[in-house]
Amino acid sequence: MNKISIKMLANELGLSISTVSKAISDSHEISATTKQKVKVLAEKLNYVPNHFASSLGKRKSKTIAVVIPEVVDSFFALAINGIESIAQKKGYHVSVYLTHESLEKEKMILKDFESGRVDGVLISISRETTCFNHFQNIINKGVPLVFFDRVPDEVDTFKIITNDYEIAYEATQQLIMKDCSKILFLSFSNILSITNNRLEGYKNALLDYKLKVSEKNILYFNNELKSDYLLLKKELKSPKRPDGILASVGKLTIPVYQVCEELKLNIPGDIQVISFSNLDMADFLNPPLSTVEQPAFELGRKAASILVDTLEKKTKHLQPEEIVINSTLVLRRSTKL
Amino acid sequence: MNKISIKMLANELGLSISTVSKAISDSHEISATTKQKVKVLAEKLNYVPNHFASSLGKRKSKTIAVVIPEVVDSFFALAINGIESIAQKKGYHVSVYLTHESLEKEKMILKDFESGRVDGVLISISRETTCFNHFQNIINKGVPLVFFDRVPDEVDTFKIITNDYEIAYEATQQLIMKDCSKILFLSFSNILSITNNRLEGYKNALLDYKLKVSEKNILYFNNELKSDYLLLKKELKSPKRPDGILASVGKLTIPVYQVCEELKLNIPGDIQVISFSNLDMADFLNPPLSTVEQPAFELGRKAASILVDTLEKKTKHLQPEEIVINSTLVLRRSTKL
DNA sequence: TTTATTTACGAAACCGCTTTCGTTAGAAAT
DNA sequence: ATTTCTAACGAAAGCGGTTTCGTAAATAAA
């Protein structure tokens, strides 16, 4: 109700608006005593500067956007924590936007950022993202953008990723060493580079160990619980069913465990499984899930650091660069000892 | 780079600034043909109105804040989805803020909202929140606030909660029916009303079934993995250890499963457990976890509806009211059949 | 003492859009 | 034909700060 503005402070103190403004922002051209007076009154009246007015004047908002496909996902949730950890330290606000894996929503969201609403954006693209103008547009408007985890090759800017290829290779290798001869790869997108890199790692491991690479062993899920479930069930019911599974994304482990249970397939006896996942309960699943754990927090942290650093610089242009932070393979009992 | 403003559109078209502004917002006082011209040019030049300028002018931002303790938590993540689902529909942006269970951070965040940065706020308070002026302050500034799930008794505004007392009673009753005689209650806050309501439900169930209510059977966790773990371990190692556990919040199941495994305690043979949790892998834990599932999505949805509705009204004052959405007890194999 | 610097502050333009309040020309009413 | 509306648009005053620039007084330098 009692909206108090800088003008009211000025009147009250018999000072000019500009003096008060400067005092509040600790300008060097204001004397210590005046600053003191202003601040005391501001405190007393519980004055909080209008965010829009100051953002408009300064042409920056001190907020960064985080655009992710989902939030009900340990990976992204942890990444947010990483981002927050540094944003807070540097005095930036973070706004989270969800695309729900929809390219359309992603476009809408980015379009909106052209309004200057945010100073910079951190984004992990949707599984549908096949065009890239919306990224370029906002970069062209002078809003720095850094991709993390799910990055597109087509846009030149900073990217923070993990070693998808290598770790998928390693995971596949692990399955092979434990005598898997028919390994299923669970993908949930044929366009995302992370998924494709993981797929490549998988394929090359197979090749290196003289195993057949077959398209039939690659299942593309479409993010719908029921159909994904049926797809997998059909596969595991087949007489020549796989004896190993590499799930390229955390949420795919739900159907895996479910189908195996229904089909009375023993993990790891009948079929071994490794999944990309950051689930903190992995240890207590039945059986405990062997995972490749991504450095989610660190990815977020790093991405935010890079972004904030360039925001603080005079030149807000990000030269293209790629930083990779390694994932780690954590073996539990869904693979043989 | 090419920042284009309403002024440029006006010049280009030989119209006044106000006309262009009105045309863009589809004012009735602008002719269809002029609107057409303006919009075509705006589209062509990829014009996006400056968010701060328009928010400043209109004195509203079309964004609502969501303040939660954590995001790495299925409950809150789902709640966000619920909130988003309706915010999007009504054309509101949502900004997520994390308190990390810290009252200090909570205060800082709310203080900032006094700047008018957001039109309204949805909040689930931290486990430390024992004072409430920061809520009242922002309400007094005319920013409507609705609490969900973790609500304080001390502030009069809209609240969306779940039936904590009843469902805790029911869960406890279930344990009792399955022959538990010493049931441990795991709390992680002695000030949060949700925890206390759950505790009351637990206590009253015990009383109704003539079981002893003892403070020794109530463990207060302090949100630090290691010490919580030790606290629980000590308890379960005791010769007169409990034969049932009711965990009042999802994350507490990690130490429970961990300690039981280390101590070779069979769940549910030696000890049965029910936990408040929205974990989607509950079915595949070892053993599958009996849970009380909270209607997280619905809580968020409802809270957002209420908030947005009042934002659209002329009178933005929320009369105090409480809406209860029921949780459900889902029995799995961490309790006996 | 005179001149050159600082120091401390105010006037006013500006940020980019919204909104109120004319104003004018043409349509409708009398 | 005169008056009254109405439709369509522009001028200008905000919105609440920030920032540039000017200036008077105080201090330092010459």
Query: Could you give the CA distance from residue A67 to residue A80 in angstroms, rounded to a whole number?
Result: 10
- Give the C-alpha distances (Å, rounded to integers) separating A142 from A118, A133, A267: 11, 14, 51
Q: Is the CB of B18 under 7 A from strand C?
A: yes
Which one of A44, A72, A117 makes the best mutation probe of the B interface by having the most chain B beta carbons within 10 Å?
A72
Quick check: bond before A268 cis, omega within 30?
A: yes
Helix B193-208 / helix B164-177 crossing angle, nearest 10 deg: 40
| % of chain A with per-residue pLDDT over 70 | 99
Q: Is the pLDDT of residue A245 over 80?
A: yes
Nearest-CB residue to A285 (from B50, B77, B281): B281
3-state class (DSSP) for residue A17:
helix
Query: Could you give the CA distance from residue B290 to residue A238 in angstroms, rounded to a whole number?
Result: 33
CA nearest neighbour of B113 among A24, A89, A46, A114:
A46
Quick one: pLDDT at residue A108? 95
- Confidence at A2, pLDDT banded by 50, 70, 90: low
Residues 6+ apart with CB under 8 A from A27: none
- Are A181 and A211 in contact, with CB atoms under 8 Å apart? yes
CB contact A95 to B (< 8 Å): yes
Query: Over its length of 337 residues, how does chain B's per-residue pLDDT go in tens digits?
Result: 568 999 999 999 999 999 999 999 999 999 999 999 999 999 999 999 999 999 999 999 999 999 999 999 999 999 999 999 999 999 999 999 999 999 999 999 999 999 999 999 999 999 999 999 999 999 999 999 999 999 999 999 999 999 999 999 999 999 999 999 999 999 999 999 999 999 999 999 999 999 999 999 999 998 888 999 999 999 999 999 999 999 999 999 999 999 999 999 999 999 999 999 999 999 999 999 999 999 999 999 999 999 999 999 877 778 889 999 999 999 999 999 9
Q: Is the pLDDT of residue A1 over 60?
A: no
Provide residues 35-64 of A with CB closer than 7 Å to any strand C atom: 53, 56-57, 59
Q: Which DSSP string corresponds to B68-137?
A: ES-SSSHHHHHHHHHHHHHHHHTT-EEEEEE-TT-HHHHHHHHHHHTTT--SEEEE---TT----HHHHH
Quick one: pLDDT at residue A132? 97
Q: From the C1' of C15, which residue's alpha carbon is nearest?
A: A57
CB contact B303 to A (< 8 Å): no
Quick one: pLDDT at residue B3? 83
Query: Could you give the CA distance from residue A124 to residue A139 in angstroms, rounded to a whole number?
Result: 15
* A81 with B93: Cβ contact below 8 A: no
3-state class (DSSP) for residue B250:
helix
Quick one: pLDDT at residue B319? 84
Q: Is the pLDDT of residue A315 over 80?
A: no
Task: Give Cα A69 to chain centroid, integer Å.
Answer: 8
Phi–psi pair at B20, nearest 5 degrees: -60, -45
Residues 110-169 of B with CB under 8 A from A: 111-112, 114-117, 137, 140-142
| % of chain A with per-residue pLDDT over 90 | 94
Quick one: pLDDT at residue B223? 85
Q: Is the CB of B49 under 7 A from strand C?
A: yes
Q: Which residues on chain B are in Cβ contact (under 8 Å) with A254?
A: 280-281, 284
Q: Is the pLDDT of residue A226 over 70?
A: yes
Query: Could you give the CA distance from residue B250 to residue B272 in angstroms, rounded to a whole number?
Result: 16
Quick: pLDDT tens for A266-300. Answer: 999 999 999 999 999 999 999 999 999 999 999 99
Quick one: pLDDT at residue B1? 52
Beta strands B328-330; B290-293: pairing state: antiparallel
The edge-to-edge listing of strands for the beta sheet with B158-162 is: B93-98, B63-68, B120-123, B145-148, B158-162, B321-325
Query: Could you give the CA distance from residue A126 to residue A104 in angstroms, rounded to a whole number?
Result: 10
Q: How far is A209 from chain B (nearest CA, A)?
A: 32
Quick one: pLDDT at residue A153? 94
Query: Could you give the CA distance from residue A310 to residue A293 in angstroms, rounded to a whole number?
Result: 29
Residues 6+ apart with CB under 8 A from A310: A120, A144, A158, A316, A317, A318
- Confidence at A214, pLDDT banded by 50, 70, 90: very high
Q: Which two tokens stand for residue B174?
A: 């279930």
When pLDDT is averaged across residues A219-239 and rounded to a whole number, the result is: 92
Quick one: pLDDT at residue A225? 85
Quick one: pLDDT at residue A313? 85
Q: Which residues pair with B332 in a beta bridge?
A: none
Quick one: pLDDT at residue B289? 97
Q: Is the pLDDT of residue A323 over 70?
A: yes
Q: Which amino acid is at B205?
A: A
Query: Which nucleotides in chain D lie less than 7 Å from some protein C-beta?
Result: 7-12, 14-22
Quick one: pLDDT at residue A60? 92
Q: Which residues on chain A are in Cβ contact (under 8 Å) with B2?
A: 140-141
Query: Could you give the CA distance from residue A10 to residue A18 in angstroms, rounded to a whole number?
Result: 9
Query: Could you give the CA distance from residue B80 to residue B95 in angstroms, rounded to a whole number?
Result: 10
Dihedral sign of CA atoms B254, B255, B261, B262 in order:
positive
Q: Which residues on chain A are in Cβ contact (under 8 Å) with B104?
A: none
Whole-model pTM?
A: 0.94
Query: Could you give the CA distance from residue B232 to residue B217 in angstroms, rounded to a whole number?
Result: 11
Helix A253-262 / helix A225-237 crossing angle, nearest 10 deg: 50
